[in-house]
Amino acid sequence: MPRSPLIAPSVLAADFACLGAEVDAVLAAGADAIHFDVMDNHYVPNLSVGPPVLRALRAHGVTAPIEAHLMAKPVDRLLEDFIDAGATCVTIHPEATEHLHRSLCLIRERGVQAGVALNPGTPIAAVERVLHLVDVVLVMSVNPGFGGQAFIPESLDAVRTARARLDASPDGAAARLEVDGGIHAGNIGAARAAGADMFVAGTAIFGAPDYADAIAKLRAALG
Ligand code: DX5
Ligand code: ZN
Q: What is the pLDDT tens value at each position of the chain, 223 positions in all?
A: 899 999 999 999 999 999 999 999 999 999 999 999 999 999 999 999 999 999 999 999 999 999 999 999 999 999 999 999 999 999 999 999 999 999 999 999 999 999 999 999 999 999 999 999 999 999 999 999 999 999 999 999 999 999 999 999 988 889 999 999 999 999 999 999 999 999 999 999 999 999 999 999 999 999 8
Hey, whose CA ends up nearest to atom 6 of ligand 1? 144
Predicted confidence at residue 173, as pLDDT, reads: 84
Choose, from 24, 40, 157, 180, the residue flagged as catalytic: 180
For ligand 1, whether the C-beta of 13 sits within 6 Å is yes
Instruction: Please state, in angstroms and rounded to a whole number, the distance separating the CA atoms of residues 205 and 218.
Output: 9
Query: Whose Cα sits closest to atom 1 in ligand 1?
Result: 144
Give all domains of the chain, ordered by start, each with its CATH number. 6-222 (3.20.20.70)
d(CA 25, CA 128): 37
Longest CA span, the chain:
45
The answer, yes or no, to whether the previous bond of 74 is cis (omega within 30 of 0) is yes
- With CA atoms as reference, report the closest residue to 198 among 208, 206, 207, 188: 188
Is 197 an active-site residue? no
Residue 205 to residue 31: CA distance in whole angstroms? 10
Nearest one of 84, 26, 14, 17 to 52, comparing CA atoms: 84
Record the pTM. 0.98
